[in-house]
Amino acid sequence: MRPLLAFSFAALCSLSTSGDAAERSAVPEKYKWNTADLYPSDTAWAQAKAEAEARIPKVAAYQGRLGESAAVFHEALSALMDLDSAITRLGVYASMRSDEDTREGSTREMDQQAEALGVRFSAAVSYLRPEILALGGAKVHTFIVQDERLWAYAPWLEDLLRYEPHTLSAPEEKVASQAGMMASAAGAAFSILKNADLPYPEITLSTGEKARLDAQGYSKHRAAPDREDRLKVFKAFWSKFKEYERTFGTTLNAHLKTHLFEKEVRKFPSCLEAALFDSAVPTGVYHRLISDVHAHLPTLHRYLRLRQRMMGLEELGYEDLYASIVKKADPRFTPEEAQALVLEAVAPLGPKYAADLQAGFKARWVDWMPTTGKKSGAYSTGAYGVHPYQLQNFTGLYEEVSTLAHESGHSMHTLLSSRSQPYPTHDYKIFVAEVASTLNEDLLLRRMLAKTKDKDMRLFLLGSRLDDLRTVLYRQTLFAEFELRIHELAEKGEALTGEKVSALYLGLLREYYGHAAGVCRIDELYGVEWAMVQHFYYDFYVYQYATSITAAAKIASDIRAETPGARDAYLRMLSAGSSKPPIDLLKDAGVDMASSEPFEAAVREMNAVMDEIEALLSAAPGR
């Protein structure tokens, strides 16, 4: 059994800082998270770790006894969940302490010890799922009726029982588990090739600056204001990937074989169904997303033509999609101002939501400042029975205020769920996780637009939102369709060479971006873009970015319109944890992900943003 470890939700975009970071010792306490709420000291953590280790044999001793009686069944589950909670708390603390300064050996060692403890716990309770499934649904349900203390475990048990048709005999499970150790090999090889061994090119820009085009350099310089520089960046970067196309094709093909193995041994009709089973998401939701995107490609093409107009280009190319289309606004904010803005933004969610978040800011949930050795980026994490935490790297940019809103959405989701749910159902699936964060970003944008009349700032805000909608609604769905297509080919037994994968990806790029209609030119070289995408070594993950932004757009629209019951239904969803399948939780919140309505709400917003941008441009001749 996998421990119910708390999720840490990474921000969609890593933050970067300029200049020399300060040492952590120079940062005022009010800008550091208060880890003492987890353990008063590292010494106390070590003592708690020793106590948790001593409890592992006790939960392992329930093996073979789960069917004795309802009382024993409850006793075993209670002991297991209590220990799972304790080990998760140990892991959260150790990870946070390590992230404060990744140079520090003692906290890295704590993090490794916590991870090892989690592995030992998982091994000790690996009997749980097969033994419960061997009892059968009828006996489990009888136990629930006989002992009301088991009611809190009912949703968790029902979810576990779903796996019965896909669970093997004990010897077969052992073989499958051993084979699973090889599942990450292809992804690891890809990562080493991409991040360490690939000889990235170096070019000279029109400014005379020499630029090394690794992943970070490419992300920076593809947005160069000079078009010739952008063309040079794209040609050099993707030509290098083209040289290694065969190798990247080999690692991707090897990874797909692990999914085929899982599909076959677990008796799923397709790799897609196998991947979506854990979250209980119907495959129709995935297919609906793709069909909705194709139905609304004209909205994407409208955006591309607007971008071409704003950039003053005779022809729009794929190289032009990352350059800024508006004058860069550069407002700066203090942490206190960022908190105030986010609290103003979430006001539509009610005074209790805002008060809880404000109390969290005051209680030092957030670690604010970039410091030497600190983990980059941003995330929200937490431990049951304590409260959420956030890691930030705040330098005052508006994008970082938006990141605070994003992570605060995750934090409040965690708080409300943990406050309302027992431990077995306090966690929630990724399918709903990004709804809470994305909705808060939407609310922040609305608040910022309400506060500013400056045209440049409004264009900056609207342009940023438009880029978000383009990249999440359309680009992530393109990734999702590509992932589906390559799995379907693999299921048919077709070999997937790098050249074949590039041809497939190029066809999708040109279809989405209107290449044949002259909307956006896609050079044949860019068909190798798939070779850079780490997410293709996950398992049908990226579609959830698109479904989350569509669900958030629908819910936010209903809340802004003050649709009766919309806000309360949303807050109930945040409080529901995993007490229901995520698709049902969203339906309770007014979003039917099996329909086109959520996607259409997002497309309406995208068109409304373009309407306002066009109106601002018309009102400002010469822009």
What is the model's pLDDT at position 168? Answer: 82
Sequence-ordered list of residues with C-beta below 8 angstroms from that of 85, at least 6 positions apart, any chain: 383, 384, 385, 423
90 SS3 class: helix
Query: 327 pLDDT exceeds 80?
Result: no
> Element (H or E) spanning 508, and its range?
helix 498-512
Closest CA to 409 of 543, 561, 558, 570: 570
Tell how far CA 330 is from the center of its chain: 27
In one letter, which amino acid is 243? E
d(CA 481, CA 540): 10
Q: What is the pLDDT of residues 455-477, one digit of tens each?
A: 989 999 999 899 999 999 999 99
Closest CA to 402 of 12, 1, 9: 12
Q: What is the mean pLDDT of residues 140-155?
A: 97
**Beta-strand pair 366-367/210-212:** unpaired
Q: What is the pLDDT of residues 249-259, one digit of tens each?
A: 999 999 999 99
Residue 169: which region, alpha, beta or left (left: phi > 0; alpha: psi -120 to 50)? beta
Residues carrying CATH 1.10.1370.20, the chain? 268-327+472-623
366 SS3 class: strand
What is the model's pLDDT at position 2? Answer: 31
Query: 278 pLDDT exceeds 70?
Result: yes
Query: 358 pLDDT exceeds 50?
Result: yes
Q: What is the pLDDT of residues 171-214, one digit of tens each?
A: 787 777 777 778 888 998 998 999 889 999 999 999 999 999 99
d(CA 449, CA 360): 26
DSSP class per residue in 532-579: G-GGGGSSS-THHHHHHHHHHHHHHHHHHTT-TTHHHHHHHHHT-TTS
CB-CB contact of 334 with 395 (8 Å): no
Cα 317 to Cα 231, 308, 411, 510, 518, distances in angstroms = 9, 9, 40, 11, 10
d(CA 247, CA 251): 6
DSSP class per residue in 282-345: -HHHHHHHHHHHHHTHHHHHHHHHHHHHHHT-SS-BGGGSSS-SS--------HHHHHHHHHHH
DSSP class per residue in 370-422: -BTTPPPS-EEEE-TTS-EEEE----S-HHHHHHHHHHHHHHHHHHHHHHHS-
d(CA 89, CA 48): 10
How is domain 38-167 classified at the CATH fold level?
Butyryl-CoA Dehydrogenase, subunit A; domain 3 (1.20.140)
The least confident of 120-129, 148-157, 269-278 is 120-129
Q: What is the mean pLDDT of residues 261-277?
A: 95
d(CA 462, CA 454): 12
Q: What is the mean pLDDT of residues 412-435?
A: 95
What is the model's pLDDT at position 16? Answer: 36
Burial 359-383 (b: 16+ CB within 10 A, else e): ebbeebbbbbbbbeebbebbbbbbb
What is the model's pLDDT at position 209? Answer: 95
Closest CA to 193 of 248, 242, 140: 248
How is domain 330-453 classified at the CATH fold level?
Collagenase (Catalytic Domain) (3.40.390)
Q: E strands, 187-226, where?
A: 202-204, 210-212
d(CA 567, CA 343): 16
Average pLDDT of the residues of the chain: 92
Query: 1 pLDDT exceeds 60?
Result: no
CA atoms within 13 A on the CB side of 36: 6
What is the model's pLDDT at position 228? Answer: 97
Sign of CA dihedral 136, 139, 143, 145: positive
Sequence-ordered list of residues with C-beta below 8 angstroms from that of 46, at least 6 positions apart, any chain: none
Higher-scoring residue by pLDDT: 287, 119:
287
CB-CB contact of 490 with 256 (8 Å): yes
Query: 621 pLDDT exceeds 80?
Result: no
Rounded to the nearest 5 percent, the helix, strand and coil shares of the chain are 65, 5, 30
Cα 615 to Cα 387, 442, 462, 610, 612, distances in angstroms = 45, 21, 12, 8, 5
Higher-scoring residue by pLDDT: 80, 172:
80
Polymer length in residues for the chain: 623
CB-CB contact of 221 with 245 (8 Å): no
CB-CB contact of 144 with 255 (8 Å): no
Query: 244 pLDDT exceeds 60?
Result: yes
d(CA 159, CA 180): 22
- Token readout for 391 is 């890691």
Confidence class of residue 485 from pLDDT cuts 50, 70 and 90?
very high
Query: 9 pLDDT exceeds 80?
Result: no
What is the model's pLDDT at position 619? Answer: 82
What is the model's pLDDT at position 234? Answer: 98
383 φ/ψ angles, rounded to the nearest 5 degrees: -130, 140
pTM here? Answer: 0.87
- Token readout for 476 is 């992530």
Q: What is the pLDDT of residues 38-77, one digit of tens each?
A: 999 999 999 999 999 999 999 999 999 999 999 999 999 9
Q: What is the mean pLDDT of residues 136-161?
A: 96
**DSSP summary character for residue 41:** S
What is the model's pLDDT at position 344? Answer: 97
User: Considering the domain 268-327+472-623, what is its CATH architecture?
Assistant: Orthogonal Bundle (1.10)
Q: What percent of the chain has pLDDT over 90?
A: 82
What is the model's pLDDT at position 202? Answer: 97
**Beta-strand pair 379-382/9-10:** antiparallel
CB-CB contact of 166 with 268 (8 Å): yes
Residues carrying CATH 1.20.140.70, the chain? 38-167
Closest CA to 241 of 204, 201, 212, 205: 201
Q: What is the pLDDT of residues 555-610, one digit of tens each?
A: 998 998 999 999 999 999 999 999 999 999 999 999 999 999 999 999 999 999 99
Residues with a catalytic annotation lie at: 407
